[in-house]
Chains A and B, each alone.
Chain A
Amino acid sequence: MTAATPPPTVPSFGEAAASATRQVLTFVLGEETYGVDILRVQEIRGWSAVTKIPQAPAHVLGVLNLRGSIVPIVDLRMRLALERAEYTSVTVIIVLSVVSAAGRRDFGVVVDGVSDVVDINEADVRPPPELGASTATDFIRGLVPISERMLVLLDIDRLIGGDAESVGTAQGVAA
């Protein structure tokens, strides 16, 4: 029950040669710009009300019907511990395919707005800074300078791939 035609492979950063360029979909959350591998993007759609799931982690808002399959929606601001924003008519859901131990899954992430598709050179990707144990950076793939701004490349598998597995433990706590 996946989306109509999934891409045959879902490559991740680092698989290709260091000199390769790849396309990244960038989006904004507040003042910050983030990017995800465009090959992981299934669909971009406007915000619509979701159906809540009981015992879900707080950042999992609920589920939506995406052409017949039931897709969980994650609030990226909450996941990244940013200040919450109101959902408006420009709020956007990016549907991504996430690879986790349980296989390929589709997840929707709520972002403030989609900006652009940019080409980035693998060689320009800087490793994420060590910010100490208090700040989790393991879901940051790397940083890329783009026209005086800094683009944060996200490793979505680490960022939300674990959500599905953590459901079991989350409900144990809730109960």
Chain B
Amino acid sequence: MKYSKINTSVIQGLSVRNIDLEVSLLKGLPRFEISGLSVRKGQEMYGRVKATLLNNGYQIPRMSIMCHLSEELQQVQDNSLDLALACAILIADDQIQISKKFKEDITIIGGLNLSGEVAAIKGVYAMLQQPKTRFWILPKMTKDELIFQPENQLKNCFLVEDINQVVDVLTNKNLSHYQIDKYELFSERILSEPIALPKKLQPLGQLAIEIAVAGWHPALIVGSPDSDKPLLKNNVAQFLPLLDDQSYIEIRSLYSIKGLWQDVLAKKEIQSFELLDPNYSKQEILGGRSELRPGVITMAHQGILYLEDINMYKLDQIRLLRKPMDDQFVTLGSQNNQQVYPANFLLLASMAPCPCGYFFEEAQSCDCSKTDINKFKEKIKLTILDKFQLTIILRESAIKKIIDNGFQRNITKQEYKKIIDRILKARSQQKLRCQKHNLDYAFNSNVKPQNFLDFFRLSNKTLQQYGQGNKRKNLSLNAFQNLIRIARTIADLNEDQDIELKHLYEAYTLRVKENIY
């Protein structure tokens, strides 16, 4: 019986699939049939594998080749099954003898070039998180993705450069040559750089960002060009506290699948920060196209999605963000192949107050007409203003101008540690509250309406003192709920058990106004 079975992993959408690839050689005219993959893709794949094997001195059996995949695949990277198929044909044709040790216990991952080199595949990190077998054959180009793996798993991974080396491994020759050293992986580039400290921000901006990050409140930053508004873009990500292990794996997998592993290495500690480009199409924002690539909002999962100068964007682009902000996920694909991608991002958007930007400053003359300014506000009012929970209004700081003289200083290490500690404490408070109510972890900003009363109970006294007859103080219901959410986060940051009057007042200053500013 000319038959072989190979384990391999492929990425479909964002999920990892462990696949059995079976090859059977039957008597008949030489031809190739595949089930589980479209005919066109199958023929392309066979063409590549055939050329590669012949180029490297192997033979193609003159028989009918039947190939079967244990699962039907629709969106896969084109060459991700090449190496597995080549190995399966060689083993089925008895051109190589697979050693007993590896039989049924090795996962082969890699693409092939016609010259016989093993090509890199996206998503190796994600695949390694869901091991089905003990041993792995991986393309050498993807070795960087192994650095977070435990040592005992590394021992069983073999990194190969071309098809001959794969054959070596399978036939149990020179194994140690292909194994990797933990120290080799941690090259100097990765270990070096310490975390960059953020710049020192204006007190108001600093405080507001702290609140936004702690309670995951979408925030709108309105500021003049001379304020710290431009600084925020590069510094806000540093205030995101470290993630827990589960989220780390989730996010690194995402980067790995998207082929952005270099970003993970560069950042070391992942603090996802995505800048939405004004030229992005719908597919690039939400994700999509035929292979269901994740979009920007998914890449910003557990991180910040930053819109720089919201007036640069088209109305449709901004409106796309509305639904994912409510759901914290996005559903892509057609009926047959639907994928749910996570998208729990923190939306921060900056805008200038008027076309010239100096509307707030009395020292600078601003010639913008009232109509211009209203047009400026219009875009955000028409699209996403109701989704924001905080507005941060920044003016040029007279004090800072004198002290810093144009060069922003970094926050000291102690200050930074203090801020991160405060944020972490606020988060753990929120987590505790969720555990008390048997809920999955939800931030203050996205507690569902049905749980609202349990989470944000206001004492009658506080409410009466705050409203003095007029309970909501001319705020709409939505705005009032957001006010309470923010007050809760402020109370969490100050480690107060109940929402007090002062928290409500503080939230009131930062509320989103109907007319923005």
Are A and B associated in one complex? no
Q: Residues on A close to B: CB < 8 A?
A: none
